[in-house]
Amino acid sequence: MRIHVTVNGSEHDVETEANMTLLDFLRDGLRLTGTKECCAVGECGACTVLVDGRAVNSCLMLTAESDGGEVTTIEGLAAGGKLSVLQDAFLASGAVQCGFCIPGQVVAAHHLLARNPHPTLDEVKEGLSGNLCRCGGYMQICAAVVAAGRANR
């Protein structure tokens, strides 16, 4: 089926199979491989993207559902090749270890900050509880998001 979707500001008018997830469309179709696949059941958050401004697990969405919508992936967050305040905070806080979960963490945190610009530590823990990090870097990840929130003031 034919769909029209805007991804990171670029419009795509493409033919897609109904049984293709948004995750596969982004990774295989558009070669936006920053969005990762891990659990494929909506538990790990590695595939988090924004659809119409909301953080979702792209493994649990069919591409067809995004028709007419706007999708933002990790590749869309560093405007003009410059790291966002949030991305920089991840590096400054030592929140990045192996890095596989990080795109999902950053997108989920971006969504959190968009709705709650200055979150408390507990609000960050709640907001990111759907993003697993097996390196266990949660202390630093949460600190990075709180710091980015402070920098936004």
Partner 1 sequence: MITEPIGAAVRRGGGVARVTGDQQFIADIRLDRMLHVKLVHIDCGHARIVSIDTSAAQAARGVVGVFTAADLPSPMPRFGPVYSDRPILAIGATKYHGQPVGAVVAETKEAAEAAAELIRVEHEVLPGVYSIEAALDPKSPLVQEPDLRPDDPRRDTNVLNELHFGWGDVDHAKADIVVDNVYEFPMVTHFAIEPHAFIAAPEDDGVVVWTPTQNPFQMQRIIAQVLGLPVAKVRVRAPDPGGAFGGKQHPKYEPLVALLALRTGRPVRLLLTLEETFQEVRRTSCRIRARTGFQSDGTISFQDIESDFLMGAYADIAERVIAKSNYLACGPYRVPAARVVVRALFSHTTPSTAFRGFGTPQVSWAHESQLDDAAWRSGIDRVEIRLRNLARKGEPFVPGDTPADGDWAESVRKAADAIGWGTPLAKGRGRGLAVAVKASATTGASYSIVRLHWDGSATVLAGTSDMGQGARTVLAQVAAHELGIPVEWVSVVMGDTAAVPFDLQTSASRSTVFMGQAVADACHDIKAQLEQMASELGLEAGVSLVEVLRARFGEVRGEVIGVGSKRSEHLADHPLGGAPSFYEFSCSASEVEVDEGTGDILLVRHVTVADVGKALNPQHVAMQDEGAAVMGLGHTLMEHIVLDDAGRIRNLGALDYRIPTTKDLPLEMHSMTVENADGPGPYGSKGAGEGGLMATAPAVASAVTEATGVVIRDLPLTPERVWTEIQRSRGKDGPTS
Partner 2 sequence: MVPFAFARPATLSETFAVLDEHGDEASLLAGGTDLVIELRNRSRRPKVVIDLKRVAELRPGISERGGWLTITATTAMTDVQENALVQMWFPALVDAAATVGSVQIRNRATLAGNMCHASPAADTAPPLLVYGAVVNVASARGARRVKLDEFLVGPRQTVLQRGEVVTSIDLPIATERRAATFVRITRRRGVDLATVSLCCLVDASGSTRFAYGAVGPRPFLVADETGALSDPSADDESKSTVLRALLEQASPISDVRGSREYREAMLLVMSRRALLSSIERLGAA
Residue 37 φ then ψ, to 5°? -110, 130
The per-residue DSSP string of 99-120 comes to -SSHHHHHHHHHHHHHH-SS--
Contact 127, 108 (CB under 8 A): yes
Does 28 bind partner 2 (CB under 8 A)? Our answer is no
β-pair partners for 50? 55, 72
**Residue with the two structure tokens 């596989």:** 100
Q: Which of residues 62-121 bind partner 2 (CB under 8 A)?
A: 62, 64-65, 67, 108, 111-112
Binding segment for partner 1 among 34-42, 50-58, 64-72, 110-118 (CB under 8 A)?
A: 34-42
Size of the site for partner 1 (CB under 8 A): 54
Q: From CA 95, how far away is CA 108, in angstroms rounded?
A: 14
Give yes or no for residue 141 binding partner 2 (CB under 8 A).
no
Only one of the segments 29-37, 61-69, 92-100, 139-147 lies at the binding site for partner 2 (rule: CB under 8 A); that segment is 61-69
| Nearest to partner 2 of 45, 137 (CB atom) | 45
Q: Which of 8, 12, 37, 40 binds partner 2 (CB under 8 A)?
A: 40
HSE on the CB side for 99, CA within 13 Å? 4
* Nearest-angstrom CA–CA distance, 126 and 7: 27
Binding site residues, partner 1, CB under 8 A:
27, 31-41, 43-44, 46, 73-75, 77-78, 83, 87, 90-92, 94-103, 106, 124-126, 128-142
Binding site residues, partner 2, CB under 8 A:
1, 17-21, 40-43, 45, 48, 54-57, 59-62, 64-65, 67, 108, 111-112, 126-127, 129-131
